[in-house]
Amino acid sequence: MHPGFFEKPRISMMPEEEVFDEMLPDVSFGYYDGAIEALKENVAQVDNGWPRYFNAGSRVYCGFVEDEVVSFCIIGDYGTFDLDGRRVSIGGPRWSAVPRRS
């Protein structure tokens, strides 16, 4: 969670009867490093036309609950730029979605 998230008034003042476990899943985030075919199966659950965009060389950032992919996003390479006297590489999301869970 973002630091201070639970201290925000809209969160900290939420009535207890409006808080559900599903609102606070145990999610971790990181780049996908598993088998590409397994990821493509998750992607196909969202849109069966998308797996063709996910290849072995794709940089894919995912949300995980335990070892299960619960969200994914291809990180595109937008080039290298000068920023405040530094040379930086810029990347960002191209496609993202959340697969259906059983």
**14 within domain boundaries:** no
Residue 101 confidence (pLDDT): 61
**70 within domain boundaries:** yes
**3 within domain boundaries:** no
Residue 84 confidence (pLDDT): 92
Q: What is the pTM of this model?
A: 0.62
**74 within domain boundaries:** yes
The number of folded domains in the chain is: 1
- State pLDDT tens for residues 16-40: 887 766 566 688 889 999 999 999 9
Class of residue 23 by CB neighbours under 10 A (exposed 0-12, middle 13-18, buried 19+):
exposed
Residue 102 confidence (pLDDT): 55
Residues of the chain with pLDDT under 50: none
- What residues contact 49, with CB distance under 8 A and at least 6 apart? none
**89 within domain boundaries:** yes
3-state secondary structure at position 87: strand
Residue 6 confidence (pLDDT): 78
Residue 99 confidence (pLDDT): 63
Segments forming the whole domain that contains residue 39: 26-97
**50 within domain boundaries:** yes
**What are the Cα distances from residue 23, in Å, to 1, 16, 67, 95?**
12, 12, 19, 23
**45 within domain boundaries:** yes
Residue 25 confidence (pLDDT): 66
Residue 96 confidence (pLDDT): 56
